[in-house]
Amino acid sequence: MYKALNYWVFGGFDGKKTPYEFIDWAAKKKLDGVELTVGDALKIDITKEECEKIAAYAASKGIGLRTLASGAGWSCALAADDKTERAKALAFVKKYLQIAAWIGAESILVVPGATRVAWDPSRPVMSYKKVWKNATAAIRKLIPLAEKLKVNIALENVWNRFLISPMEWKFFLDQFQSKYVGIYFDAGNASLTGRAQDFPEILGKYIKAVHLKNFEETDCAGGLHNFGDDLFKGVVDFKALFAELDKIGYKGPFTVEMIPFSRLPDLVLPDAALADKMASQIAKL
C-alpha cells in the first residue's frame, strides 16, 4: 500500500515550503510518497530541468511522486461558460500534464466543473447540463496530450454539485473511451451523499488514485465544517473501502489530503503538527 501526504497541510496554499523540504520530511516520516501541488509547491512555469531535478532528489530519498494536485480548477474552470476562461483552463491543464510527465507522476487531479461553488459567491451558477457539455468538450481536447504523455486525467469527486453518485461518474467516464481518463476518488468527499465503499464496485478500472480523509455527520448530513483534523473521526469505513478496492485489484496511491474546514474561520495552513499527526495516522491504515 503506497501511502503519501498531500502538500497543502505541510506547505500551505502559498508555497511556503519547497518540494525538497517536503520530500525530506516525508523520508523522515517513512512515507512512500508525497503529492506535490501545481500552483504553489510547483509553479505553473516550472521548467523541465527543475522537474527532473526534483524527481531525482525524490528518488534518492526513496520518495514517490505518483500524483500531482491543483486547486486551480475552482477559479479557472474547464467547464466555464466564458470561452476565454475555458481556453485559459485548457492551457493550464495542458502544462499541468506536461509537468506531470517531466516529474514522473502517473496522474493529475483535475476538477471537472461545478454548477455552483458554495464557498465562492463570485463564481457563476451554471446548469448541470451545461457543465456536463462543457466539461466533456474540454476533456476530449485534453485526451490526445494525456495519451501521448501517458498521464492520467484523474477527475476528482468534489463538492461541486456535479457528478454526485458513482453511476453518474460511470456514465460520464464511459463516453471518453480512454484509459487515461478516470476518477481521483476522495473517500471523505463521497460521504456527504453516499458511502465511499460503494464507488469501487461500479467504477473499477476508472479509479486512478485515492484521497483519504474523513467526514463527520454532527448535524444530520453534515456540512463543509465536518471535515476535521483526524483521519479516524467520521463515517468513512476504511476497512470496507479497502476491501472493495482489493476486489477490483486497485494498486494505486493512497494520499491523505487534510484540510480541516472544521477550524474555519480560523483555518491556518501550513500546519506542521497536523502534518506529523497525519503521517502517524496513515501508518496505522
Residue 82, pLDDT score: 96
What does the alpha-carbon distance between residue 191 and residue 217 come to, in Å, rounded to a whole number? Answer: 9
What does the alpha-carbon distance between residue 25 and residue 275 come to, in Å, rounded to a whole number? Answer: 10
pLDDT surpassing 90 at residue 200: yes
Q: What is the band of 254 on the pLDDT scale with cuts at 50, 70, 90? A: very high
What does the alpha-carbon distance between residue 115 and residue 158 come to, in Å, rounded to a whole number? Answer: 12
* Residues 195 and 157: beta-carbon distance below 8 Å: no
What does the alpha-carbon distance between residue 252 and residue 107 come to, in Å, rounded to a whole number? Answer: 10
Residue 245, pLDDT score: 98
What does the alpha-carbon distance between residue 183 and residue 152 come to, in Å, rounded to a whole number? Answer: 9
What separation in angstroms does the CA of 168 have from each of 44, 193, 202, 203? 31, 13, 10, 10
Q: What is the mean pLDDT of the segment spanning 19-47?
A: 98
Residue 222, pLDDT score: 81
Q: What is the band of 119 on the pLDDT scale with cuts at 50, 70, 90? A: confident
For all residues of the chain together, what is the average pLDDT? 96
pLDDT in tens, 205-252: 999 999 999 999 887 778 889 999 999 999 999 999 999 999 999 999
pLDDT surpassing 90 at residue 258: yes
Residue 210, pLDDT score: 98
Domains of the chain (ranges; CATH) run 3-262+270-282 (3.20.20.150)
Residue 219, pLDDT score: 77
pLDDT surpassing 80 at residue 151: yes
Q: How many C-beta atoms surround the C-beta of residue 127 within 10 A?
A: 10
Q: What is the mean pLDDT of the segment spanning 128-149?
A: 98
**What is the grid cell recorded at 100?**
506531470
DSSP calls for 106-156: SEEEE----S--TT-TTSPP--HHHHHHHHHHHHHHHHHHHHHHT-EEEEE
Listed residue (94, 112, 90) closest to 151, CA to CA: 94
Listed residue (226, 273, 224, 280) closest to 256, CA to CA: 280
pLDDT surpassing 90 at residue 55: yes
Q: What is the band of 118 on the pLDDT scale with cuts at 50, 70, 90? A: confident
